[in-house]
Amino acid sequence: MVSHGIRERFGRLRRRGGRGPERDERKLRALVADALGRHATTTKRAGAATIAEAYVAGDDEWRRRFFRMLVDEFWTAPDAVAAELEACRAAPPGDRRAERRLRDALTPPAIGLLSSFSGLEGGVKLLVDLRADLLGLAAGDPDLAELDEELRRHLATLFDIGLLELRRITWDAPASLLEKLIEYEAVHAIDSWADLKNRLDSDRRCYAFFHPSMPDEPLVFVEIALTAGIATELESLLDESAPELNAGRADTAVFYSISNCQPGLAGVNLGNALIKQVVDRLRGELDHVRHYVTLSPIPGFRAWLEDELRTGDLPAREAELLPAQPGRVLARLADAGWDADEAIRPALLTLCARYLTTQRDGRVVDPVANFHLANGASVERLNWLADPSAAGRERSVGIMANYRYDPDRIMERAEAYVARGEVAMSDAVRQLLAG
C-alpha cells in the first residue's frame, strides 16, 4: 500500500504549489492504459496510486476532463461485447465461463481502475470523495451520469450493510469525531459545544454507521430524544435549558435528525438500514420504550401549497375550509404574522395531509415522507407550528410530521408501500383527508 494517505500526501504537495507530470493528459492517458494492462497486484496498485495522486492534485476542470477521458476512451468495446454475446449464445447450456467472459466484456475498464483505488491507503475515502466530485460535474452529461451510476453500484457493494459497524456516539468520543457531528449535521444545525453536549446527554442517543476502512468518518448518523409521550414541537427537543428526563421514565424514542455525512454515498441508501438497526438496538437496551417516532420536517410543502393556492384548483372541501379565496390566502402567507389567524389552521393541515400522501410515479412527492414510508413507517400526526423558525416557515409554514415505526410492522409496511404504493397512516391523518 501507499506509505502515506493519498489525500494528506497531496495536500502537502498542493500547498507547496507542486504539479506532477501526470497533469499532462497524454501522459495520464498512458498511465491509465498502463495500469489497466498490468496483471500483478503490486504493480496494478502502484499504477492506481499514481493516478489517484494526480487526481487529488487536479482542480475541478482537470477532474472533469479526467472523467471525460474515462468514458470516451476506457469504456466498454461494442465489438468485444457483441463477440462475447454471440459466443455465449453459441455455448452449451450452463457454460458459466462464457457467461463470465460476457460479464467481463460488459464491465467498463474505467470502473475497474476506479474501484482499484479502494485498495490504497485512504483509498476508500478517496473513492467516496471522487464520486461526490463526479456528482457535481455530471449534470447535463449523460455519459458522466452513466459513469456515476456504475460507480454508485460499486460503492453500494463496498458499503454493504453487513460490512458496516453501528456505534453509539457519546460525549466521551474523541473531539475530532464530535467536531464532525457539528460539521455534518444537516437538519438542525448544532450551534455550539453546549448544544452538542445537550444532544448527547443521558436522555439522548446518537448512533452512526462506520466503515472499517473509514473508522473515524461517520457515514450517516441519527439523533434521538427519549421522551415521555410523543414530541409534537421542535423547541423542547433542542432547548439546552430543558430539564433532563430520567431515561428510565421514557416511553418514546423520537428520531429528530438524520444526516448523511458523505455526499459521495448519495443513493447508497444507508439511512433506512440505520433506522431499522437503531430501533432493534433500542428495543434491546430500553425495554420500557414502546413508541418509535420521528419529528420530521416537510421540506417541499410550502412551495407545493403556494402552487395549489395560485392555481386555485382545490377540492371542494379544502376550498370550504379556507378562510378566504385562495389568492387572498396566498397573499396572507407573505405577511410575517399570518399565523395569528387561527382560522387558517384547519385548511393548511388538511392540505398538508394531501401533500404528504400525494403520489407521483409510485412514490409520495415529499422526499422525507418517501424516505420514512419506504422504510416501513406510517404517517402518524401533523403538528401545527412545530417549527416556527424562519427555516421551518419557509419549508412548511411551520408544520412538522410524526412518522411512527411499529417494529412488528416495519417490513410489512415497507413492502406495501414500495410494491403497491400503499401509504400507511393513522386514523387522525385519514380523518384530515376524509373530512
Question: What are 72-89's pLDDT values in tens digits?
Answer: 999 999 999 999 999 999
Active site includes 288? Answer: no
Phi, psi of 369 (to 5 degrees): -60, -45
Q: Identify the burial level of 352 via C-beta atoms within 10 angstroms of its C-beta, where 0-12 means exposed, 13-18 middle and 19 or more buried.
A: buried
**Overall fold of domain 162-294:** Aminopeptidase (3.40.630)
Evaluate whether 402 touches 383 at the Cβ level (below 8 Å). yes
Summarize the confidence of residues 314-336 as an average pLDDT: 93
pLDDT at site 14: 42
> What is 301-434's CATH number?
3.40.630.150
Residue spans in the chain of domains classed CATH 1.20.140.90? 6-158
Question: Is the Cα torsion angle 1, 149, 271, 375 positive or negative in sign?
Answer: negative
Stated as kind and residue range, the H or E segment containing 271 is helix 271-285
Alpha-carbon distance values, 31 to 18, 27, 62, 70, 191 (Å)? 19, 6, 16, 12, 47
Specify whether 372 is catalytic: yes
Catalytic residue (choose from 211, 372, 378, 396):
372
Instruction: Kindly indicate the confidence band of residue 16, based on its pLDDT and cuts at 50, 70 and 90.
Output: very low
Helices 301-311, 345-357: crossing angle, 10 deg rounding: 110
Q: What is the pLDDT of residue 3?
A: 36
For residue 179, pLDDT over 60 is answered with yes
Q: Residues of CATH 3.40.630.150 domain(s) within the chain?
A: 301-434
pLDDT of 24 > 80? The answer is no
Average pLDDT over residues 346-374: 96
Unique residue bearing C-alpha cell 387561527: 342
Tens of pLDDT along 212-264? 999 999 999 999 999 999 999 999 999 999 999 998 899 999 999 999 999 99
pLDDT value of position 7: 53
Predicted model pTM: 0.90
Residue 23 confidence (pLDDT)? 58
The verdict on domain 6-158 having CATH code 1.10.240.10 is no
Region of 269 please: left (phi>0), alpha (psi -120 to 50) or beta. left
Residue range(s) occupied by CATH 3.40.630.180 in the chain: 162-294
296, 378, 389, 426: the active-site residue: 296
> Mean pLDDT of all residues in the chain?
92
The alpha carbon of residue 345 and the mean position of all alpha carbons in its chain are separated, in whole angstroms, by 32
